[in-house]
Amino acid sequence: MNADLFISYAWTSPEHREWVRLLASQLHLLGYEIKIDEAVDYGSSLNGFMQEVIDAKHVLLIIDENYVDRADNKPESGVGIETKWISSVFKDKQATWLSVVFVRNPDHNMPAWLVDYNPKGFNFNSNPDKNRFPGSYQIDEIWRWIEGLPADKTNVVPLAEVRKRAARIERIDALRDPGNYANPALEGRVTFKHNDHIDYTIGYGEYEFKIHFSSRSGNSVYVYKDSGLKAVGLITSPNYDPLTVDSYLRHGRTAEPVVGQSVVLMNAHGALCIITIDEVQSEVNEVAYVSAHVTFAYKVLTK
């Protein structure tokens, strides 16, 4: 997958490398695929750095004073090699393809080849004497550049609101994750909020059963064969023999157990499972909301 953003910078110091990595992490948290130049193979102009740059949707140069010196005076350095390839493809790209970040560079110096182009720049210089440090405002500016948003912020949605919306989506997606509604154990007891997901999966392989419930009454539920089961059946005798429990299977779509009753399930492999309904809770749609759920014990028969 092509990177959303390729970041080029000079390895000026361990502190500078750490700063660049933190910036990349912040942009990654906004949802972007970030490529850092130090992870690129310089050995081939086709398969290494040049291809990575060409394919990137945007390129960001982190320009400190050392970056300028290496770009202008040290063609064999990493920055020098990057400058060669970036400058060779820049003229064929849209003006919004490349931007620069000024850090530890109060005069906003740029490599000589870039001066005439005057690309959009972001000021990340610190001024501790005046208690000025880069932060969320500059991150917001980079985000707007990547997204192609106008400088006019009349209709701006704050990043805090964007993250809040993303959190809402993620929480709902997490609730939908099938892994929340599955247990590979062959025997156990579980409470399942059956309005939150279509089925609950127990067992694994040939002993897997997807069980679909819905509310029926205050002490009863429907158990369906709709989720890949071949048959279901209500066990009507409290003293059933597990060896002959398949005699309770029926051709119908559902079984309708009340609390305390058991149901036999048969899956597509012909394996059997017995579930016993321990509790049924209907939805309570009041201030103190309660989700509809069923608590059941289960045992997969392996013999």
CATH number, residue 102: 3.40.50.2300
Provide mean pLDDT across the span 103-123: 93
168 & 187 share domain: no
Half-sphere exposure of 34 (CA within 13 A, CB side): 20
60 & 147 share domain: yes
Residue 290 has pLDDT above 70, yes or no: yes
pLDDT, position 160: 78
Averaged pLDDT of the chain: 90
Distance (Å, rounded) from C-alpha 205 to C-alpha 96?
A: 52
164 & 46 share domain: yes
162 & 46 share domain: yes
pLDDT, position 1: 58
Name the domain boundary from 151, 172, 193: 172
Name the domain boundary from 148, 172, 196: 172
Q: Which helix (H) or strand (E) holds 98?
A: strand 98-102
Distance (Å, rounded) from C-alpha 116 to C-alpha 126?
A: 26
Residue 49 has pLDDT above 80, yes or no: no
The answer to whether the beta carbons of residues 262 and 276 sit under 8 Å apart is yes
Q: Give the structural domain span for 54.
A: 5-172
85 & 233 share domain: no
pLDDT, position 42: 59
Q: Which has the closest alpha carbon to 7: 124, 177, 107?
A: 124
The answer to whether the beta carbons of residues 202 and 228 sit under 8 Å apart is no
Q: Under the phi-then-psi rule, with left for phi > 0, alpha for psi from -120 to 50, and beta for the rest, what region is 288? A: beta
Name the domain boundary from 172, 189, 219: 172
Residue 46 has pLDDT above 60, yes or no: no
210 & 243 share domain: yes
Total number of domains in the chain: 2
20 & 164 share domain: yes
| Helices marked H in 149-257 | 159-176
